[in-house]
Chain A
């Protein structure tokens, strides 16, 4: 039963749950960097929404909150966590979860998402999204953690598929099957990172089109697009690094088009965290995604056009 179980857990409180309070617009949004905040507020560019990293705003007060409050008045917001460490083999940090709950209460974001990864161990924070083996034990752990997050936040979260660089001997299922089961068991949604699908499949010698179709596409609540860097592994095979430091690669645009043909138009975020170009450059790249979203909407309303992948390089 794929793509079911997508309802939020019962008992959540949604003070502003009217209309699209829990839905991002079906447009391309941009990852909002502190360096662009003032410009965004002065110029109010036409962006679908903005996404911020939750941890950057886990400070008591000051300019960041001032700016985010103003951004929120004019734009839809996606709150994207990077340090909850859902895949860690220890209890979730309740203090961190409390800080997330406070941010959600304050800014009422349309979406909250986190990663299928871990980043803490024994009180140490590693500031990277670390991989985990996929097996019955880790599935149980991740489902328990996602359940706790959704219960504490009183809303459905989106779980992002990771960029991976290696596999584990301890894995007994592939990533798509693992994510499918998490979605089925917890009712969470999927943040489909198309760049991560491409990066992981290249790094694992797998077929990106097949993996994409294997994911629980009925649960996709948001799509991420980003750029990668190229390295080589010990055998000279390509090793792609998900560094969010380059424009979206042509192969990832192709995979995005294919994803839209399967999922339909879906809120999409352009991520850029390194070598951040001027805002106008990001806006132009986001408009490219907006055009594909429009095309996908038009194709949906046209009669019986089969979804076929075109020119997707693996």
Chain B
């Protein structure tokens, strides 16, 4: 029953002897504050139902904007609460949530920010929001075993097999490559260093993963990012190492360093040689 002709006074449901309701019209009016409230609303005292309907309009916007404000704290700090809330409200009105899981509500927000004209003066804002969304995804990613450094060491003992080794990264591992200094900006808001020392126009690569119950965010080199992305895509150890070595002319690929990263943090959930 999504017909918009089903208005009060037109009873189209003689089969059941009661008028229809019109949830499509209700929703359209909820999301557009300029629309009048649906005509079949009533108040017990005959008062204008508009303020009553506004309770739901307000619930929707405030609850969703509050949720986004909690999920994107650094994005909010960079633009200030007033700007952020206005932007979040525009996002919700233009792209109402397609998920019932509020934790993932903000997944389309970074793309929205990238195309949001009032935010154009802060070109790094979309990628920074992307980093914050990846943190949420990493936090809630599926649980999986992680190999200890000892297990990895044993698996690597045979150099013949090593080149054909396929390494599965933990589901919480996320990589993010940006033209902007999103790690440094994010870290400044964690109190790691003074934001005035950050040049936002320098490219940075970020690695996110869960260690125990906490999400860790690390800055990595272009080559290491390329190497880990290759592993994530299912390549054997040799292939991404080659690709990484050619990834950045200014940045020599440090295979030993990248392998040390795999040993130091709980990034690897499986290692097995190709048959």
User: Is A170 in contact with B40, judged by CB distance below 8 angstroms?
Assistant: yes
List of A residues within 8 angstroms of B103 by Cβ: 56, 59
Tell me the nearest residue of chain B to A65, going by C-beta.
B143
List of A residues within 8 angstroms of B2 by Cβ: 89, 122
Q: How many residues of A contact B (CB 8 A)?
A: 54
- Give bound CA distance, A60 to B60, whole Å: 26
List of A residues within 8 angstroms of B99 by Cβ: 125
User: Is B60 in contact with A127, judged by CB distance below 8 angstroms?
Assistant: yes
Please choose the segment from B81-89, B125-133, B134-142, B242-250 that sits at the chain A interface, where 4 or more of its residues have CB less than 8 A away.
B134-142
Please choose the segment from B46-54, B190-198, B216-224, B258-266 that sits at the chain A interface, where 4 or more of its residues have CB less than 8 A away.
B46-54
List of A residues within 8 angstroms of B234 by Cβ: none
- Give bound CA distance, A168 to B41, whole Å: 5
CB-CB under 8 A for A61 and B55, given A55-B100, A169-B40 = no
User: Is B20 in contact with A234, judged by CB distance below 8 angstroms?
Assistant: no
User: Is A166 in contact with B52, judged by CB distance below 8 angstroms?
Assistant: yes
User: Is A59 in contact with B101, judged by CB distance below 8 angstroms?
Assistant: yes
List of A residues within 8 angstroms of B27 by Cβ: 121-122, 124, 126
**Which B1-29 residues have a C-beta within 8 angstroms of A?**
1-2, 8, 13, 16-21, 23-24, 26-27
Decide if A63 is an interface residue (CB 8 Å cutoff).
yes
User: Is A165 in contact with B55, judged by CB distance below 8 angstroms?
Assistant: yes
Most chain A beta carbons < 10 A, residue from B16, B23, B63, B210: B23
Tell me the nearest residue of chain A to B59, going by C-beta.
A128
Tell me the nearest residue of chain B to A38, going by C-beta.
B213
How far is the CB of B212 from the nearest CB of chain A, in Å? 9
CB-CB under 8 A for A128 and B60, given A55-B101, A62-B210, A136-B17 = yes
How far is the CB of B8 from the nearest CB of chain A, in Å? 5
**Which A28-78 residues have a C-beta within 8 angstroms of B?**
55-56, 58-66
List of A residues within 8 angstroms of B42 by Cβ: 166-169
User: Is A126 in contact with B96, judged by CB distance below 8 angstroms?
Assistant: yes
User: Is A60 in contact with B140, judged by CB distance below 8 angstroms?
Assistant: yes
Decide if A132 is an interface residue (CB 8 Å cutoff).
yes
- Give bound CA distance, A205 to B45, whole Å: 7
Contact with B along A16-29 (1 / 0, CB 8 A): 00000000000000
How far is the CB of B28 from the nearest CB of chain A, in Å? 9
- Give bound CA distance, A172 to B21, whole Å: 12
How far is the CB of A75 from the nearest CB of chain B, in Å? 20
Total inter-chain residue pairs, C-beta < 8 Å = 165
User: Is A121 in contact with B23, judged by CB distance below 8 angstroms?
Assistant: yes
- Give bound CA distance, A235 to B139, whole Å: 48
User: Is B100 in contact with A128, judged by CB distance below 8 angstroms?
Assistant: no
Chain B contact residues, majority secondary structure: loop
Most chain A beta carbons < 10 A, residue from B24, B44, B172: B44
- Checking B19, B53, B67 against A170 with a beta-carbon cut-off of 8 angstroms, the contacting residue is B19
CB-CB under 8 A for A165 and B52, given A135-B19, A172-B18 = yes
- Give bound CA distance, A113 to B42, whole Å: 29
User: Is A166 in contact with B43, judged by CB distance below 8 angstroms?
Assistant: yes
**Which A111-154 residues have a C-beta within 8 angstroms of B?**
118-128, 130, 132-133, 135-138, 140
- Give bound CA distance, A128 to B67, whole Å: 13
User: Is B53 in contact with A120, judged by CB distance below 8 angstroms?
Assistant: no
Decide if A88 is an interface residue (CB 8 Å cutoff).
yes
Decide if A203 is an interface residue (CB 8 Å cutoff).
yes
Decide if A239 is an interface residue (CB 8 Å cutoff).
yes
User: Is B18 in contact with A136, judged by CB distance below 8 angstroms?
Assistant: yes
Contact with A along B99-110 (1 / 0, CB 8 A): 111111000000
List of A residues within 8 angstroms of B1 by Cβ: 89
List of B residues within 8 angstroms of A63 by Cβ: 139, 213-214
User: Is A239 in contact with B52, judged by CB distance below 8 angstroms?
Assistant: yes
- Give bound CA distance, A132 to B22, whole Å: 9
List of B residues within 8 angstroms of A130 by Cβ: 23, 26, 30, 56
**Residue positions of B touching A, CB distance < 8 A:** 1-2, 8, 13, 16-21, 23-24, 26-27, 30, 40-53, 55-56, 59-60, 63-64, 67, 96-104, 139-144, 171-172, 210, 213-214
Task: Provide 14 A-B residue pairs closer than 8 Å at the C-beta atoms, listed in order of the A residue.
Answer: A55-B101, A59-B104, A61-B140, A89-B23, A93-B100, A118-B23, A126-B97, A127-B64, A128-B56, A133-B40, A136-B16, A166-B43, A233-B52, A235-B47
Q: A127-B64, A137-B13, A206-B44 are in contact. List 18 more A-B contacts (CB 8 A).
A: A60-B141, A63-B213, A120-B100, A125-B96, A125-B99, A126-B97, A127-B59, A127-B102, A128-B63, A132-B21, A135-B18, A138-B21, A166-B42, A168-B21, A204-B44, A235-B46, A235-B48, A241-B55
